[in-house]
Amino acid sequence: GAVVSQHPSWVICKSGTSVKIECRSLDFQATTMFWYRQFPKQSLMLMATSNEGSKATYEQGVEKDKFLINHASLTLSTLTVTSAHPEDSSFYICSGQGQGLGEQYFGPGTRLTVT
Amino acid sequence: GNSVTQMEGPVTLSEEAFLTINCTYTATGYPSLFWYVQYPGEGLQLLLKATKADDKGSNKGFEATYRKETTSFHLEKGSVQVSDSAVYFCALTGDNFNKFYFGSGTKLNVKP
């Protein structure tokens, strides 16, 4: 099946700094990538949808200036959490969707801890 | 609008017990339905899916049937194993598979 990877798998950063998370589709071209956030013991909440070469579409309540998403190629999307604060600590999961593939393929997730 | 409701957990079972995790949905149109599994510290893995009414998805001994009349997609397994311990998410998506709506997840603990 289609594989999506994320890097890093776990990151700790200090409050006020920025951190970048990469999401790669390894064996397919992801025309659309999605970013989700998962709070402890809760479900996944869609943050934004990005199409290759276009600006991301953010869900209501998600600050686009804080969570910068770039989808520069068909195999790579990045999420940058700017000026991170402890409340941004969470599990971030990306997924990719290829042209004609239909379903989304999920990455393993990145655990962000902001101290 | 679209939404998914799952039974709250945790669900604790002994090995070889029968498992049911309830899932009901609200949707416009004709959604596709999914069960995903998340093992500790990992991302989501697709367990099974059904794309139209009366379809049965199955994988690794798990089954779920798309019931349009009751708007349900309950997950079942006849005999659980310790290795099935994980969090299970029910989800739906629309025709273009773009936006997924997830249930809150149900944690399953299987004891030897």
Is cis: bond before A40, omega within 30 of 0? no
Tens-binned pLDDT, residue by residue, of chain A (115 aa): 688 999 999 999 999 999 999 999 999 899 899 999 988 777 888 999 998 888 899 999 999 999 999 998 999 999 999 999 999 999 999 999 887 666 788 898 999 999 9
Chain B partners within 8 Å of A24 (Cβ) = none
Q: Chain A: residue nearest B39 by CA? A: A108
Could you report the per-residue pLDDT of B26-41, keeping only the tens digit for each? 998 889 999 999 988 7
User: A106 vs B42: CB contact, 8 Å cut-off?
Assistant: no
Chain A partners within 8 Å of B11 (Cβ) = none
Q: What are the backbone angles phi and psi of residue B24, rounded to the nearest 5°? A: -125, 160
User: A104 vs B97: CB contact, 8 Å cut-off?
Assistant: yes
Cβ burial B77-95 (10 Å sphere, 16+ → b, else e): beebeeebbbbbbbbbbbe
B46 close contact with A: CB closer than 8 A: yes
Cβ burial A75-98 (10 Å sphere, 16+ → b, else e): bbbbbebeebeeebbbbbbbbbbb
B15 close contact with A: CB closer than 8 A: no
End-to-end CA distance of chain B: 41
What's chain B's Rg over C-alpha atoms?
Answer: 13
